[in-house]
Structure 1
Amino acid sequence: MKSTRDKILQSLLKKPRSTINDLAEAVGINPISVRHHLTNLQMEGLVEGQEERHGVGRPRLVYVLTDEGMERFPTRYMLLTTRLLSQMKETMPGPVVAKLFNQIAEDLASQYASDMKNLSMEERLDFVKDMLAQEGFTVEWEKKDGNYEIHEISCPYYQIGIAHPEVCTVDQTLISKMLALPANKVQCILDGGAHCTYVVQPVAEVKSK
């Protein structure tokens, strides 16, 4: 049986921009209880309130699901993405497809370029960890034998990567761009590893030829 909060989320999925009274009627509880649940859902980042003009007088408050709230419901995005990638690979040369993935990473890295200025190596690693978390990754890093190892414990691209491993170049390129150093993959979950691991050699450790 669905909880009251789940019923509210489901109602907003079916009818965005609902008022408290709309939700009370849809869910079958009183408006005071709806307001309490909405407050909690807003604090969790699943719902947001917006003012809406409605005739003469003060705007009324309506509620919609946030992007995070939308993610609570099953979607067919993965199937669509897989089909799009298959079509791209059938109609475009391999180097062009690779360049597109590389450009995605470069564009994303450029958005954070100003935030990375004057950061130490380990501050950059923490920044990358937090940034990738926003993209859906679970990342940890450690210093080992003078190098830095970056472990992707979970990856939002995993299911797509099974059929299209090229997608893995996005996070590898992104890490390299953000740290301004090559990130060498030494373990991949697609090859049976426990997780994906990248090794980055600090500038001070790079040996001149």
Structure 2
Amino acid sequence: MAIAKQPSTKQDILQHLLKIGQASAQELADALEISPQAIRRHLKDLETEGLIIHQQVQAGMGRPQHVYQLSQEGRDRFPSRYGEFAVDFLDTLTETLGYEQASTVLRKHWERKAMEYRVRLGKGNLRDRVAKLVELRKAEGYMAEWYPVQESDCQFILTEHNCAISHVASSFPSVCGHELEMFAAALQNCKVERTHWIVNGEHRCGYLIKEQ
């Protein structure tokens, strides 16, 4: 069942939780401009459907509050780029060629993707190229965004709130290393560092991009 089939308010809740990681009912109500009572009804439905989970968090001296986040099933409602097929294919490739040869094939794939990105990004300033890269990633199923570091024109943060290849990354985490190299090769004359990683249990992947 695709996420688009969810009622719009529920879809908004899922997308907001995907973006920020976790939130209380009141925080969701404030962010989406919906009454807390309506939010709680939607949260109850989403939890019944197995799309979100909650935990109790102690806030100051008051009563513990429920904080909600996506379950794995909830994350799976977002684009995955045919992840299961890709994992099966890579398993077969590894069995046929061996791990080293399969890794070489993966590297070649990311090198080709980097060259494709480089051509499409052009030779503008880094700000424009990062903005274009984010648009390309969005088109590929990533919920991506970017912003400058303290209004800088030479340092930027690129954040991806869902991983379109999460199934592959869970089984073959080396693809994330290739992805890091791909960004650096595509942007040229830049250093790219990972700041957050979904595979490590964080709710987003983040990259610091520095002009060299």
**SS in structure 1 opposite 2:135?**
helix
Task: Give the CA RMSD over aligned residues.
Answer: 2.7
Q: Give the corresponding residue for 1:158.
A: 166
2:126 aligned with 1:139: no
Query: Aligned runs of 1:51-200 on 2, under 5 Å?
Result: 77-144=82-149, 147-180=155-188, 181-200=190-209
CA distance in 2, matches of 1:132, 1:103: 19
Q: Please report how far the alpha carbon of residue 112 of structure 1 lies from its aligned counterpart in structure 2 after TM superposition.
A: 4.1
Give the TM-score normalised by structure 2: 0.53
CA distance in 2, matches of 1:170, 1:189: 15
1:110-149 per-residue CA deviation (whole Å, 9 max, x = no partner) reads 2343443331000000110011112111111122255321
1:165-193 per-residue CA deviation (whole Å, 9 max, x = no partner) reads 22323432331122112322121011011
Q: In structure 1, list runs of 5 or more residues that go unmatched.
A: 1-75, 204-209
Q: 1:150 to 1:88 in 2, by over 3 A?
A: same
1:102 touches 1:173 (CA, 8 Å); kept in 2?
A: no
Q: 1:182 to 1:91 in 2, by over 3 A?
A: farther
CA distance in 1, matches of 2:117, 2:91: 30
Aligned length: 130
Give the TM-score normalised by structure 1: 0.53
| Letter aligned with residue 198 of structure 2 | I
1:76-122 per-residue CA deviation (whole Å, 9 max, x = no partner) reads 94333222212223343444333322221221232343443331000
1:182-206 per-residue CA deviation (whole Å, 9 max, x = no partner) reads 3221210110112011112212xxx
CA distance in 1, matches of 2:185, 2:103: 16
1:157 touches 1:168 (CA, 8 Å); kept in 2?
A: no
CA distance in 1, matches of 2:199, 2:83: 17
| Letter aligned with residue 184 of structure 1 | E
Q: Which structure has more RCO (C-alpha within 8 Å, separation ≥ 6)?
A: 2
CA distance in 2, matches of 1:161, 1:82: 9
Which has the greater radius of gyration? 1
